[in-house]
Structure 1
Protein backbone atom coordinates (compact mmCIF):
# COMPACT_ATOMS: atom_id res chain seq x y z
CA UNK A 1 0.00 0.00 0.00
CA UNK A 2 2.99 2.32 -0.30
CA UNK A 3 1.83 3.95 -3.53
CA UNK A 4 -1.68 4.49 -2.20
CA UNK A 5 -0.31 5.98 1.03
CA UNK A 6 1.79 8.36 -1.04
CA UNK A 7 -1.30 9.32 -3.06
CA UNK A 8 -3.08 10.13 0.21
CA UNK A 9 -0.14 12.31 1.26
CA UNK A 10 -0.45 14.14 -2.06
CA UNK A 11 -4.18 14.63 -1.42
CA UNK A 12 -5.17 12.37 -4.31
CA UNK A 13 -8.20 10.14 -3.82
CA UNK A 14 -8.84 7.48 -6.42
CA UNK A 15 -12.43 7.61 -7.69
CA UNK A 16 -14.75 4.69 -8.26
CA UNK A 17 -14.25 3.22 -11.71
CA UNK A 18 -17.02 4.27 -14.08
CA UNK A 19 -18.88 1.67 -16.08
CA UNK A 20 -17.84 1.65 -19.75
CA UNK A 21 -20.09 3.74 -21.97
CA UNK A 22 -19.56 1.51 -25.03
CA UNK A 23 -18.42 -2.01 -25.98
CA UNK A 24 -15.11 -2.32 -24.11
CA UNK A 25 -13.69 -3.18 -20.71
CA UNK A 26 -11.65 -0.78 -18.52
CA UNK A 27 -8.47 -2.87 -18.77
CA UNK A 28 -7.07 -6.12 -20.15
CA UNK A 29 -4.07 -8.12 -18.94
CA UNK A 30 -1.79 -9.61 -21.56
CA UNK A 31 1.01 -11.52 -19.85
CA UNK A 32 2.87 -9.07 -17.64
CA UNK A 33 1.28 -6.03 -19.29
CA UNK A 34 -1.94 -4.30 -18.30
CA UNK A 35 -3.57 -2.24 -21.05
CA UNK A 36 -5.81 0.46 -19.59
CA UNK A 37 -8.56 1.76 -21.87
CA UNK A 38 -8.69 5.48 -22.53
CA UNK A 39 -9.88 7.45 -19.52
CA UNK A 40 -11.54 10.83 -19.74
CA UNK A 41 -11.07 13.83 -17.47
CA UNK A 42 -13.88 13.20 -15.02
CA UNK A 43 -13.71 14.49 -11.46
CA UNK A 44 -16.27 13.29 -8.89
CA UNK A 45 -18.20 11.64 -11.71
CA UNK A 46 -18.49 14.87 -13.73
CA UNK A 47 -16.69 15.55 -17.00
CA UNK A 48 -14.44 18.59 -16.54
CA UNK A 49 -12.59 20.78 -19.03
CA UNK A 50 -14.95 20.17 -21.96
CA UNK A 51 -14.11 21.55 -25.37
CA UNK A 52 -11.22 22.21 -27.69
CA UNK A 53 -7.79 22.98 -26.28
CA UNK A 54 -6.52 26.21 -27.75
CA UNK A 55 -10.05 27.50 -28.31
CA UNK A 56 -12.19 27.26 -25.17
CA UNK A 57 -9.90 25.18 -22.92
CA UNK A 58 -6.59 26.69 -21.85
CA UNK A 59 -3.29 24.84 -21.91
CA UNK A 60 -3.25 24.99 -18.09
CA UNK A 61 -6.73 23.48 -17.78
CA UNK A 62 -5.87 20.81 -20.35
CA UNK A 63 -2.78 19.90 -18.29
CA UNK A 64 -5.11 19.44 -15.29
CA UNK A 65 -7.45 17.38 -17.49
CA UNK A 66 -4.54 15.06 -18.34
CA UNK A 67 -3.84 14.66 -14.62
CA UNK A 68 -7.50 13.85 -13.93
CA UNK A 69 -7.55 11.29 -16.75
CA UNK A 70 -4.42 9.70 -15.29
CA UNK A 71 -5.93 9.51 -11.81
CA UNK A 72 -8.91 7.71 -13.38
CA UNK A 73 -6.45 5.33 -15.07
CA UNK A 74 -4.82 4.62 -11.70
CA UNK A 75 -8.24 3.82 -10.25
CA UNK A 76 -8.74 1.23 -13.00
CA UNK A 77 -5.31 -0.29 -12.27
CA UNK A 78 -6.11 -0.54 -8.57
CA UNK A 79 -9.49 -2.14 -9.27
CA UNK A 80 -7.95 -4.74 -11.58
CA UNK A 81 -4.80 -5.49 -9.57
CA UNK A 82 -6.02 -4.83 -6.04
CA UNK A 83 -3.03 -2.60 -5.31
CA UNK A 84 -0.96 -0.02 -7.16
CA UNK A 85 2.11 -1.58 -5.54
CA UNK A 86 1.89 -4.29 -8.22
CA UNK A 87 2.91 -1.73 -10.85
CA UNK A 88 6.45 -2.61 -11.88
CA UNK A 89 6.74 0.16 -14.48
CA UNK A 90 4.67 2.56 -16.53
CA UNK A 91 5.56 1.42 -20.04
CA UNK A 92 3.61 3.79 -22.29
CA UNK A 93 1.25 6.73 -22.12
CA UNK A 94 -0.94 7.65 -25.07
CA UNK A 95 -2.64 11.01 -24.77
CA UNK A 96 -5.32 12.38 -27.05
CA UNK A 97 -6.00 16.10 -27.03
CA UNK A 98 -9.22 17.54 -28.48
CA UNK A 99 -7.41 20.32 -30.31
CA UNK A 100 -8.25 23.49 -32.14
CA UNK A 101 -6.71 23.12 -35.63
CA UNK A 102 -4.10 25.77 -34.80
CA UNK A 103 -3.11 24.25 -31.43
CA UNK A 104 0.28 22.49 -31.56
CA UNK A 105 1.25 22.03 -27.90
CA UNK A 106 -0.28 18.61 -27.28
CA UNK A 107 3.03 17.50 -25.75
CA UNK A 108 2.66 20.13 -23.01
CA UNK A 109 -0.90 18.99 -22.27
CA UNK A 110 0.09 15.34 -21.86
CA UNK A 111 2.93 16.41 -19.56
CA UNK A 112 0.10 16.57 -17.01
CA UNK A 113 -0.07 12.76 -17.17
CA UNK A 114 3.67 12.19 -17.45
CA UNK A 115 4.64 14.55 -14.63
CA UNK A 116 2.08 12.99 -12.29
CA UNK A 117 3.21 9.41 -13.05
CA UNK A 118 6.87 10.27 -12.42
CA UNK A 119 5.93 12.08 -9.20
CA UNK A 120 4.01 9.04 -7.95
CA UNK A 121 6.20 6.19 -9.20
CA UNK A 122 9.65 7.81 -9.45
CA UNK A 123 11.94 6.04 -11.92
CA UNK A 124 9.25 3.39 -12.50
CA UNK A 125 7.04 6.17 -13.82
CA UNK A 126 9.30 7.15 -16.74
CA UNK A 127 7.68 5.91 -19.94
CA UNK A 128 7.42 6.03 -23.70
CA UNK A 129 4.69 8.37 -24.90
CA UNK A 130 2.55 9.68 -27.72
CA UNK A 131 0.67 13.00 -27.57
CA UNK A 132 -1.84 13.26 -30.38
CA UNK A 133 -4.13 16.08 -31.44
CA UNK A 134 -7.59 14.94 -32.54
CA UNK A 135 -10.64 16.73 -33.92
CA UNK A 136 -13.04 15.35 -31.28
CA UNK A 137 -13.25 13.11 -28.22
CA UNK A 138 -16.28 11.40 -26.64
CA UNK A 139 -18.63 13.81 -24.85
CA UNK A 140 -16.47 16.75 -26.01
CA UNK A 141 -13.79 15.86 -23.45
CA UNK A 142 -10.62 17.87 -23.85
CA UNK A 143 -8.26 14.99 -23.00
CA UNK A 144 -8.20 11.18 -22.98
CA UNK A 145 -5.31 9.13 -21.59
CA UNK A 146 -4.54 5.44 -21.93
CA UNK A 147 -1.74 3.53 -20.21
CA UNK A 148 0.28 0.37 -20.69
CA UNK A 149 1.70 -0.88 -17.41
CA UNK A 150 4.12 -3.70 -16.59
CA UNK A 151 2.88 -5.58 -13.53
CA UNK A 152 4.30 -7.89 -10.90
Structure 2
Protein backbone atom coordinates (compact mmCIF):
# COMPACT_ATOMS: atom_id res chain seq x y z
CA UNK A 1 0.00 0.00 0.00
CA UNK A 2 1.48 3.36 -0.96
CA UNK A 3 0.03 5.30 1.99
CA UNK A 4 -1.86 4.72 5.18
CA UNK A 5 -5.56 4.38 4.30
CA UNK A 6 -6.52 7.09 6.79
CA UNK A 7 -4.05 9.47 5.15
CA UNK A 8 -5.43 8.58 1.70
CA UNK A 9 -8.99 9.25 2.89
CA UNK A 10 -7.91 12.62 4.21
CA UNK A 11 -6.09 13.44 0.95
CA UNK A 12 -9.27 12.54 -0.93
CA UNK A 13 -11.27 14.87 1.33
CA UNK A 14 -13.26 11.96 2.76
CA UNK A 15 -14.22 10.86 6.25
CA UNK A 16 -15.57 7.53 7.36
CA UNK A 17 -19.19 7.79 8.49
CA UNK A 18 -20.37 6.31 11.74
CA UNK A 19 -21.18 2.64 11.23
CA UNK A 20 -24.91 2.28 10.65
CA UNK A 21 -26.64 0.09 13.19
CA UNK A 22 -28.10 -3.08 11.64
CA UNK A 23 -31.65 -2.84 10.33
CA UNK A 24 -32.25 -6.53 11.09
CA UNK A 25 -30.83 -9.54 12.87
CA UNK A 26 -27.19 -9.39 11.73
CA UNK A 27 -23.90 -7.67 12.52
CA UNK A 28 -22.18 -5.07 10.29
CA UNK A 29 -19.00 -7.14 9.89
CA UNK A 30 -17.64 -10.53 10.92
CA UNK A 31 -14.07 -11.74 10.99
CA UNK A 32 -13.27 -15.36 10.11
CA UNK A 33 -9.56 -16.10 10.17
CA UNK A 34 -7.85 -13.36 8.18
CA UNK A 35 -11.01 -12.38 6.28
CA UNK A 36 -13.56 -9.74 7.20
CA UNK A 37 -16.99 -10.05 5.61
CA UNK A 38 -19.00 -6.83 5.62
CA UNK A 39 -22.79 -6.97 5.45
CA UNK A 40 -24.38 -5.19 2.50
CA UNK A 41 -24.32 -1.44 2.98
CA UNK A 42 -26.97 0.87 1.55
CA UNK A 43 -26.34 4.63 1.20
CA UNK A 44 -27.17 6.12 4.60
CA UNK A 45 -26.49 9.60 5.96
CA UNK A 46 -27.35 10.54 9.53
CA UNK A 47 -29.44 7.38 9.89
CA UNK A 48 -31.54 8.10 6.79
CA UNK A 49 -31.40 6.60 3.32
CA UNK A 50 -29.67 9.08 0.96
CA UNK A 51 -31.83 8.16 -2.04
CA UNK A 52 -34.61 5.79 -3.03
CA UNK A 53 -35.62 4.22 -6.29
CA UNK A 54 -34.22 2.42 -9.29
CA UNK A 55 -31.17 3.46 -11.26
CA UNK A 56 -32.16 4.41 -14.79
CA UNK A 57 -35.61 5.50 -13.62
CA UNK A 58 -35.54 7.52 -10.37
CA UNK A 59 -31.75 7.79 -9.97
CA UNK A 60 -29.25 8.64 -12.70
CA UNK A 61 -26.34 6.25 -13.29
CA UNK A 62 -23.94 9.02 -12.19
CA UNK A 63 -25.84 9.50 -8.93
CA UNK A 64 -25.88 5.72 -8.53
CA UNK A 65 -22.07 5.65 -8.79
CA UNK A 66 -21.82 8.34 -6.09
CA UNK A 67 -24.19 6.34 -3.88
CA UNK A 68 -22.10 3.22 -4.53
CA UNK A 69 -19.03 5.13 -3.33
CA UNK A 70 -20.97 6.18 -0.23
CA UNK A 71 -21.80 2.52 0.44
CA UNK A 72 -18.12 1.58 0.11
CA UNK A 73 -17.20 4.24 2.69
CA UNK A 74 -19.80 2.76 5.04
CA UNK A 75 -18.31 -0.70 4.46
CA UNK A 76 -14.84 0.64 5.31
CA UNK A 77 -16.28 2.10 8.50
CA UNK A 78 -17.51 -1.37 9.52
CA UNK A 79 -14.05 -2.82 8.74
CA UNK A 80 -12.39 -0.06 10.75
CA UNK A 81 -14.63 -0.68 13.75
CA UNK A 82 -13.83 -4.40 13.70
CA UNK A 83 -10.11 -4.61 12.84
CA UNK A 84 -8.84 -1.12 11.92
CA UNK A 85 -8.19 0.07 8.37
CA UNK A 86 -4.45 -0.06 8.94
CA UNK A 87 -4.74 -3.86 9.22
CA UNK A 88 -6.28 -4.36 5.77
CA UNK A 89 -3.89 -6.29 3.53
CA UNK A 90 -6.12 -6.68 0.46
CA UNK A 91 -9.64 -5.92 -0.66
CA UNK A 92 -10.62 -9.40 -1.88
CA UNK A 93 -14.15 -9.12 -3.25
CA UNK A 94 -16.89 -6.57 -3.87
CA UNK A 95 -20.48 -7.48 -4.61
CA UNK A 96 -22.69 -4.69 -5.89
CA UNK A 97 -26.46 -4.85 -6.19
CA UNK A 98 -28.17 -2.20 -8.30
CA UNK A 99 -31.93 -1.68 -8.18
CA UNK A 100 -32.44 -1.30 -11.91
CA UNK A 101 -35.13 0.15 -14.13
CA UNK A 102 -36.46 -2.15 -16.83
CA UNK A 103 -33.87 -2.30 -19.60
CA UNK A 104 -31.07 -0.62 -17.59
CA UNK A 105 -27.76 -2.33 -18.36
CA UNK A 106 -25.21 0.02 -16.78
CA UNK A 107 -24.83 -1.74 -13.43
CA UNK A 108 -21.06 -2.14 -13.79
CA UNK A 109 -20.53 1.61 -14.16
CA UNK A 110 -22.65 2.22 -11.04
CA UNK A 111 -20.59 -0.22 -8.95
CA UNK A 112 -17.38 1.33 -10.33
CA UNK A 113 -18.06 4.12 -7.81
CA UNK A 114 -17.28 1.67 -5.00
CA UNK A 115 -14.43 -0.06 -6.82
CA UNK A 116 -12.71 3.21 -7.70
CA UNK A 117 -12.92 4.40 -4.11
CA UNK A 118 -11.34 1.22 -2.76
CA UNK A 119 -8.48 1.47 -5.24
CA UNK A 120 -7.99 5.16 -4.42
CA UNK A 121 -7.79 4.36 -0.70
CA UNK A 122 -5.69 1.17 -0.80
CA UNK A 123 -3.79 1.43 -4.11
CA UNK A 124 -3.03 -1.96 -5.67
CA UNK A 125 -4.27 -3.64 -2.47
CA UNK A 126 -7.68 -2.18 -3.27
CA UNK A 127 -7.97 -4.05 -6.59
CA UNK A 128 -10.47 -6.86 -6.15
CA UNK A 129 -12.67 -9.49 -7.73
CA UNK A 130 -16.23 -8.27 -8.23
CA UNK A 131 -19.77 -9.31 -9.00
CA UNK A 132 -22.42 -6.84 -10.09
CA UNK A 133 -26.08 -7.78 -10.02
CA UNK A 134 -29.13 -5.89 -11.28
CA UNK A 135 -32.20 -6.43 -9.10
CA UNK A 136 -35.80 -5.23 -9.02
CA UNK A 137 -35.72 -3.88 -5.45
CA UNK A 138 -33.37 -3.51 -2.50
CA UNK A 139 -33.99 -3.11 1.25
CA UNK A 140 -35.57 0.20 2.26
CA UNK A 141 -35.96 1.09 -1.43
CA UNK A 142 -32.23 1.78 -1.80
CA UNK A 143 -30.86 2.17 -5.32
CA UNK A 144 -27.58 0.35 -4.53
CA UNK A 145 -26.13 -2.02 -1.95
CA UNK A 146 -22.43 -2.88 -1.63
CA UNK A 147 -20.79 -5.67 0.34
CA UNK A 148 -17.06 -6.22 0.62
CA UNK A 149 -14.65 -8.87 1.84
CA UNK A 150 -11.15 -7.86 2.95
CA UNK A 151 -8.08 -9.77 4.08
CA UNK A 152 -6.48 -8.41 7.22
CA UNK A 153 -3.35 -9.04 9.21
CA UNK A 154 -3.50 -11.95 11.67
Common fold by TM > 0.5: yes
1:45 CA displacement: 2.9
Deviations 1:49-104 (A, max 9, x none): 210001010000000010000000000000001x2110000000000001112111
Q: Is residue 2:81 matched to residue 1:79? A: yes
Instruction: Give the corresponding residue for 1:94.
Output: 95
Instruction: Give the corresponding residue for 2:32.
Output: 30
SS in 2 for 1:51: coil
Q: Is there any run of 5+ residues in structure 2 with no aligned partner, and where?
A: none
Matches within 5 A, 1:64-143: 64-81=66-83, 83-143=84-144
Task: Give the TM-score of the pair, scaled to structure 1.
Answer: 0.96
- How many aligned residue pairs are there? 151
Task: Give the TM-score of the pair, scaled to structure 2.
Answer: 0.94
Q: Is residue 2:1 matched to residue 1:4? A: no
Q: Is there any run of 5+ residues in structure 1 with no aligned partner, and where?
A: none
**Which piece of structure 1 moves more, 129-138 or 38-47?**
38-47
Instruction: Give the corresponding residue for 1:50.
Output: 52
| RMSD over aligned Cα atoms | 1.1
Deviations 1:97-123 (A, max 9, x none): 011121111001000011111111110
1:10 CA displacement: 1.2
Query: Does the 8 A contact of 1:66 with 1:110 survive in 2?
Result: yes
Query: Does the 8 A contact of 1:3 with 1:120 survive in 2?
Result: yes
